[in-house]
Amino acid sequence: MDAIRFEDVSFSYGSGAFAIRNLNFSVREGEFVAVLGHNGSGKSTLARLCNGLLVADDGKISVFGKSVSEKDNLFEVRKEVGIVFQNPDNQTVASIVEDDIAFGAENIGVPREEIGERISFALKAVGMEGYRNALCARLSGGQKQRVAIAGVLAVRPKVMILDESTAMLDPRGRKEVVDVVTRLNREEGMTVVLITHFMEEALRADRAIVMNKGEIVMRGTPEDIFERHEELQTYNLTLPRIGYICRKLREGGLNVADTLDEEKLAEEIASCGSLRNI
């Protein structure tokens, strides 16, 4: 069954222009999908439509077969779909890590003993076991975002949407967050929708879609999409640094195949023989 399904969905913020136009796409259970797009492409609107924070003007959105537009389904849908937002400070409800993680579980009426277990599980899943009683304000950006992920995990959703959750982080924090989500996807079978404008992050995904002006303009595996780098540039997206390095190496006379995997690139370079010959 599809975890999330959009059928001919349109949405506008009331100013006339469509934020999302005739969108059709679906995410299978257990899949890792990256949604790429520059500012204003409608990708954040997409996230908010998935769990009823915004209501579509047209079309049908369903989560595990349940229609999101029905008010009675909202609570059930939100239990299945968790969202991690962009600004870590604006999604933390409590000052202490464990209190914040407990918030979602308390809302859905989980008994007290089980909330404790869920907090331990969630902290372990994001690699922050030692921070249970820490003050959120004292954490680094990457750590705060991992607490936010833990807060979503405590609700035990089947789908996790990351709405530009790495945009405000430094490279190290970004890696922390993406590593955690990748592991959740591979080991816990969590369905992940990663919305981002950092192309490197999309590499971890099984599938990527590119959005522009509220429409999906490209679909495929991340590798397929990065192959079409000229097309990407017309949507104001630039190739990840590693893809760029491949191209530059070839221009410089080193015969390497296009790849986006660091290890693979290293092997390619090694197999080219002595670098002094160039």
Partner 1 sequence: MLKDVSFGQFYPAESFAHRLDPRLKILFLIAFITATFLAKNFYGLVLCAAVLVLAVLFSGIPVGKVVRSVKGVLFLVIFTALLNVFFYQGATVYWSWWILRITKEGLLFSAFLALRLALLVMCSSLLTYTTTPVALTDGIESLLTPLKWIRFPVHELALIMSIALRFIPILIDETERIMNAQKARGADFETGGLVKRVRAVVPVLIPLLLSAFRRAEELGDAMDARCYMGSKNRTKYKKLRFGWRDLVAFLTGAALVTGVVLLRVFVGATI
Inter-CA distances, 48 with 15, 61, 90, 165, 276, Å: 18, 12, 16, 14, 54
| Cα 246 from Cα 265, distance rounded (Å) | 8
Out of 108, 236, 261, 273, name the contact with partner 1 by CB under 8 A: 108
d(CA 229, CA 250): 15
Using the CB atoms, write b or e for 134-166: b if 16+ within 10 Å. bebeebebbbbbbbbbbbbbbbbbbbbbbbbbb
Closest separation in Å from C-beta 51 to partner 1: 6
Give residue for tokens 């969590």.
Answer: 190
SS3 content of the chain, % helix, strand, coil (to 5): 45, 25, 30
Q: Which of 1, 14, 15, 112 binds partner 1 (CB under 8 A)?
A: 112
135 binds partner 1 (CB under 8 A): yes
Q: Given candidates 103, 215, 220, 258, which one binds partner 1 under the rule CB under 8 A?
A: 103
152/209 with CB nearer partner 1 = 152
Of residues 55 and 266, the one with the C-beta less far from partner 1: 55
Q: Closest separation between CB of residue 59 and partner 1, Å?
A: 21
Contact between 96 and partner 1 by CB under 8 A: the answer reads yes
C-alpha–C-alpha distance, residues 150 and 153, integer Å: 5
Kindly state whether residue 110 participates in binding partner 1, applying the rule CB under 8 A.
yes
Site string for partner 1, 62-91 (x = CB under 8 A): -------------x--xx--xx-x-x-xxx
Selected range binding partner 1 among 22-30, 58-66, 105-113, 177-185, rule: CB under 8 A: 105-113
Is residue 254 within 8 Å of 272, Cβ to Cβ? yes
> Are 185 and 27 contacting, i.e. CB atoms less than 8 angstroms apart?
no
Q: Which of 7, 106, 206, 258 binds partner 1 (CB under 8 A)?
A: 106
Q: In the range 137-196, which residues lie near partner 1 by CB under 8 A?
A: 137, 151-152, 155
In the list 37, 42, 59, 104, the residue contacting partner 1 (rule: CB under 8 A) is 104
**With respect to partner 1, which residue has the nearer C-beta, 133 or 274?**
133
Q: Nearest distance from residue 72's CB to partner 1, in Å?
A: 12
Segment 33 to 52, residues that bind partner 1, using CB under 8 A: 48, 51
Position 102 contacts partner 1 (CB under 8 A): yes
Identify the bridge partners of residue 220 per DSSP, sorted by sequence position.
Answer: 208
**Which lies closer to partner 1 via its Cβ, residue 109 or residue 253?**
109
Nearest to 79 by CA among 99, 54, 105: 105
* DSSP secondary structure code for residue 127 in this structure: T
Among 41, 45, 62, 92, binds partner 1 (CB under 8 A): 92
Residue 233 CB-density burial (10 A; 0-12 exposed, 13-18 middle, 19+ buried): exposed
Q: What angle do CA 266, 184, 93 make, to 5 degrees?
A: 120
Chain residues binding partner 1 by CB under 8 A are 48, 51, 53, 75, 78-79, 82-83, 85, 87, 89-96, 98-99, 102-112, 115-116, 119, 133-135, 137, 151-152, 155
